[in-house]
Structure 1
Amino acid sequence: MKEQSISTQKPLFRVPRIFSQFPELIAAESTRHGGVSKEPYNSLNLGGSSPDDPENIAENNRRFFAALNVSLDRVAKSHQVHGTAIMNVEHPGRFEMYDALITDKPNVQLAVTIADCTPILIYDPVLKAIAAIHAGWRGTVGLIVQKTTQALQEQFGTNPGNCYAYIGTCIDECSFEVGKEVAEHFNPEYKRWDAGRGKYYVNLKLANHDQLVSAGLKTEHIEISPYSTVIHNEDYFSYRHEKGLTGRMLATIGTNSTKKFNPVES
């Protein structure tokens, strides 16, 4: 399945290329298009934590998951708190206080919400185990990606060398301006000092990429989104760029035990 151009098409979601070789896998990252929410949440706001009309959020979720041919009663989400807690999901539902979800159950669709933080999706095609991770700067310095990969090993026997991963759309280094109090938590290779602005810039994508590699994933098994929530704000929500008045995107992953992934659009 070919990804459509960001400049000429307005899809509800995009499918990571790294996962296209696995027909049993349903994995996608939403855009801000195709929903019913009004400004400033326009239009495909999928996040229940925003002050948007709950009916609009529910309709947006229905549209998004219907386009993936996923029933809403198969979805597992959690209220995220920028921590490192990991949940082994046994059944679909709404949970609290987890920033990473893992499962080896077929037909359970994991989902995390984002609007600048980094989503990471992991798939073990041998044991059919999956993970969906929400990694803001606190989760990143807390090594949530590395800890989640370890949880896949401990819970399901996953060999990280067999896994594939997608590092999704988030705020890029050129836009993630932080003060010393945040920068001091990152190693030098993940931050850049701008003397003119008197600020640091942090690279969340690289930091999480290197956690995957340190955990045992092969570099050629990792895809990094070329998009930015700030630079491509016309297509993605950015909490920082839009000063908190914005919607939320979803990154989702699940395995289908009965049929191949056949989304309505991509």
Structure 2
Amino acid sequence: MPKILGLNKERQILPLQGGTLPGGRQPCNEIYHLFASSNQVLAVFSTRHFDAAKDWKRFLESLKLPSDHFSTVRQVHGAKAVTASPSLNPAGDLEADGMVTREPRLPLIIRTADCAPVFLFDPVTPAIGICHAGWRGAKAGIIERTVEKMKGEFGTSPARLEAAVGPAICVSCYEVGKEFKNDFPNFVVERDSRYYFDLVGEVKSQLYGCGVPEISVRESGFCTACSTDRFFSARREGRETGRLLSLLMLK
């Protein structure tokens, strides 16, 4: 059974802004806090109340954080992880899909719309890492690279990491080609001559393979494609849809 975030997940309700969704539905005006029982780290993911294309400032201000002090990268579905600094901003050209830091009060932000945001927290050092893991990044090794970056930079032991997988497309919604079985043999399901990829299962398996204890790996329990009233989904809505924001910061 998946370990859902449960009591470590808290909702923050925000003032509703903007228009309605198709069918007159109201967009979800929430953000979710992970590792909520920890006073060392802030870890959140947004709903479609925020769009990464235009809502950086409002997202940060809703968390009572400075809107001009954070780190992000230009995501390319690769396997590069970097040590973060405040100079990594949306206008920057640094291509990477993972970031790590032990600097306090420096938010690390990634953007997703079906790919998995992966949060890593070392409470001993302390240090954090975050990465963007779709099927290309998972195949390329972004999760292992991010964990290895934390080990190399900060001496993090994977055995003491806490990890969380944020909202991502679920296996029932993620139809793929048969060739995926070659790259992900344990996480492609065949149903009625069709093939479906369990991205979250693959991400968790890779975390275990890096040495993160199974008991320390949680998942959000949200599917982006099943819940387009709450999240953006490139598979369901098209590649031009918005992007969710995931943020991780040492306090």
TM-score normalised by length of structure 2: 0.85
Pairwise CA distance, 1:115? 0.4
Segment drifting more, 219-228 vs 92-101: 92-101
Does the alignment pair 1:31 with 2:47? Answer: yes
CA distance in 2, matches of 1:105, 1:32: 29
Q: Aligned partners of 1:92, 1:108: CA distance in 2, in Å? A: 11
Q: How does 1:174-193 map to 2 (within 5 A)?
A: 174-187=172-185, 189-193=186-190
- C-alpha distance 9-230 of structure 1, shift in aligned 2 (>3 A): closer
Aligned 1:104-123 pairs, distance under 5 A: 104-123=102-121
CA distance in 1, matches of 2:198, 2:154: 31
Q: Distance in 2 between matches of 1:67 and 1:229?
A: 22
Query: How far, CA to CA, are the matches of 1:203 and 1:109 in structure 2?
Result: 29
| Alpha carbons 2:47, 2:230 under 8 Å: kept | yes
Question: What is the RMSD of the two structures over their aligned residues, measured on CA atoms?
Answer: 2.0
- Paired residues of 1:76 and 1:91 also in contact (CA < 8 A): yes
TM (norm. structure 1) is 0.81
Q: Tell me the CA shift for residue 92 of structure 1.
A: 4.2
More off after superposition, 114-123 vs 69-78:
69-78
Aligned equivalent of 2:246: 251
Query: Which residue is 2:32 aligned to?
Result: 14
- Unaligned runs of 5+ residues in structure 2 are 1-7, 14-25
2:10 maps to amino acid = E
Alpha-carbon deviations, 1:54-107, whole Å to 9, x = none?
xxx0xx222211111211222111110000011111334324210001111111
Distance in 1 (CA, whole Å) between partners of 2:209 and 2:174 is 24
| 3-state SS in 2 of match to 1:227 | coil
Which runs of structure 2 are paired with 1:1-266 in the superposition (5 Å)? 3-4=10-11, 10-16=28-34, 19-33=35-49, 44-47=50-53, 57=54, 60-94=55-89, 95=92, 96-187=94-185, 189-194=186-191, 196=192, 198-256=193-251
Question: Which 4+ residue blocks in structure 1 deviate beyond 6 angstroms?
Answer: none
Aligned length: 229
Q: Which runs of 5+ in 1 are unaligned?
A: 34-43, 48-56, 257-266
Quickly say closer, same or farther: Cα 1:14–1:4, change in 2 above 3 A: closer
User: Once the 2 structures are TM-superposed, how far is the Cα of residue 24 of structure 1 from its aligned partner?
Assistant: 2.6
Q: Which amino acid aligns with 2:31?
A: F
Per-residue CA deviations over 1:139-197 (Å, capped at 9, x if unaligned) read 1112211221111111110011111111010111001100123342112x211112x2x
For residues 29 and 212 of structure 2, the distance between their equivalents in structure 1, rounded to whole angstroms, comes to 30
